[in-house]
Amino acid sequence: MKRKSRREFLRGATTGAAGVALGAAGWGRVLGANDRIAIGMIGCGSRGVGAHMAGVHKHDKGQNVEFVAVADPWRPARERAAALAKEWYGREPKQFGSYRDVVGMKEVDAVMIASCDHQHTTHLAAAAKAKKDVYIEKPLAMTLESLKAACDAAKEAGIVVQNGTQLRSTPAFTGCRELFRTGVLGKISRIEQCRNGSRPYWYGYLKEAKEEDVDWREFLMDRPMRPFNAVQFTGWYGFREFSDGPVPGLGSHFIDLVHYITGAKFPTSVVCHGGTFIWKDEKGFTCPDHVQATWVYPEGFMVHYSTNFGNGSGNSLRIFGEHGVMNMVNWNAPTLSGEGAVKKGKLGKEAPVEPVPCPDHFLDWLQCLRSRKAPNASLDAGYQHAVAVIMAMKAFDTGRRQVYDSEKRELLEK
């Protein structure tokens, strides 16, 4: 398809005393209202097809977008994604086993990355090098070094990046953010989430997979080669080589909400502990079925996250202030009350938080591809949630409190 203009890119200043200035969207190809946005899908599992592709499909006519390529090391997965795209647009998208082929397509303007956690930064860096805008799943990274390298590359390339922490693009949580910022809760002391279940989520992803249908080397990426293992391939969420379990897998949404609602950016320290206490079986999963992490923020409050996959009761999501509590355990209907107040009488009985209308997360990204504004979950936001969960897992692995130096972008043990 002939383009009306060539891509132009902004390479701004990227370093300073505080390190990379992340999140400022650069300028790519100038897109007019009549220009089609061509998207490549990297990772065609349930998240890529069921969330990313389906989420964009709701807006593809209004925003003039189309999936023109799909990539996945598992043949049945990419074929399913390709069949959907053909059904929607009436033509076959290109199919590839590797992300390299998608980012190498000149006609692709943007990529959506719903690959395995250990692949995220490699895919982001490759997209940045190819000057493709990005929507990328959380957690953004598993190591601090890969996080910094990929984010630096994205900043230098001037691409638009939306992270998949979609809760910040919901009317309910946007309402919580606006109400919180009025100071209605007074001084905050603690923010906590308990997100429990009767079984680890990775069991739900196990499927049959044939070795001849899988590019095993492509899946492993930089991990050591070993014989094909269908449990590791389909249940990768449960293995520490490929994912770090509940804190980054679920807790990244929570930490991102903390940052979104309060305006905080980085914790100063964290401790984390846990283990596998219930789900010990022949599958050999290595991610913990119980874990808890506690961060301290320089704004003067503590943040606590825990998951228990041995019992599904006890879920909570609350912000505790001296005037009362914001209860967000019902994601669609948060409330505010004077419960437990230190300074009584400021807030009354439990009342609903008024929602604030906003574009959904996929629409926000699509609109930013044309406006070149920073999306709601910008590169900054992704960097921030990734730092917090990387800190926690380092504390989990070492048994030592981790401290983050935001000026040097370094982790220290204390």
Verify that 74 and 127 share a domain, yes or no. Answer: yes
Verify that 281 and 402 share a domain, yes or no. Answer: yes
What is the distance in angstroms between the CA of the first residue and the CA of the last residue of the chain? Answer: 56
Residue 33: per-residue pLDDT: 60
What is the Cα–Cα distance from 261 to 134, expressed in whole angstroms? 24
Q: Is residue 161 part of a domain?
A: yes
Residue 16: per-residue pLDDT: 31
Q: Is residue 370 part of a domain?
A: yes
What is the Cα–Cα distance from 151 to 146, expressed in whole angstroms? 8
Residue 413: per-residue pLDDT: 84
Beta carbons of 111 and 102 less than 8 angstroms apart: yes
Q: Which two tokens stand for residue 338?
A: 């004077």
Q: Is residue 211 part of a domain?
A: yes
Q: What is the CATH number of the domain that holds 399?
A: 3.30.360.10
Count Cβ atoms below 10 Å from residue 283 Cβ, excluding itself.
Answer: 16
Verify that 147 and 234 share a domain, yes or no. Answer: no
Beta bridge partner(s), residue 316: 194
Q: Is residue 276 part of a domain?
A: yes
Q: Is residue 23 part of a domain?
A: no
Verify that 191 and 293 share a domain, yes or no. Answer: yes
* Residue span of the structural domain in which 41 resides: 37-167+362-379
pLDDT interval class at 29 (50, 70, 90): low
Residue 142: partners with Cβ closer than 8 Å, 6 or more residues away: 117, 118, 120, 121, 243, 244, 248, 390, 393
How many structural domains comprise the chain?
A: 2
Residues 102-114: what's their mean pLDDT? 98
**Is pLDDT of 27 > 90?**
no
Beta carbons of 377 and 162 less than 8 angstroms apart: yes
17 membership: H or E segment, kind and range: none
What is the Cα–Cα distance from 256 to 254, expressed in whole angstroms? 5
Percent of the chain surpassing pLDDT 90 = 91
pLDDT interval class at 8 (50, 70, 90): very low
pLDDT digits (tens, 9 = 90+) for 51-78: 999 999 999 999 999 999 999 999 999 9
Residue 14: per-residue pLDDT: 31
pLDDT digits (tens, 9 = 90+) for 188-209: 999 999 999 999 999 999 999 9
What is the Cα–Cα distance from 82 to 77, expressed in whole angstroms? 9
Residue 61: partners with Cβ closer than 8 Å, 6 or more residues away: none
Verify that 139 and 191 share a domain, yes or no. Answer: no
Q: Is residue 191 part of a domain?
A: yes
Residue 32: per-residue pLDDT: 62
Count Cβ atoms below 10 Å from residue 27 Cβ, excluding itself.
Answer: 13
What is the Cα–Cα distance from 11 to 126, expressed in whole angstroms? 17
Taking alpha carbons only, the member of 406, 409, 138, 400 closest to residue 270 is: 400
Q: Which residue did the predictor score with more confidence, 8 or 36?
A: 36
Q: Is residue 6 part of a domain?
A: no
Verify that 193 and 156 share a domain, yes or no. Answer: no
pLDDT interval class at 7 (50, 70, 90): very low
Residue 31: per-residue pLDDT: 65
Beta carbons of 411 and 144 less than 8 angstroms apart: yes
What is the Cα–Cα distance from 323 to 69, expressed in whole angstroms? 52
Residue pointed to by tokens 């390479």 = 11
Q: Which two tokens stand for residue 132?
A: 């493709």
* Amino acid (one-letter) located at 205: Y
Residues 330-358: what's their mean pLDDT? 96
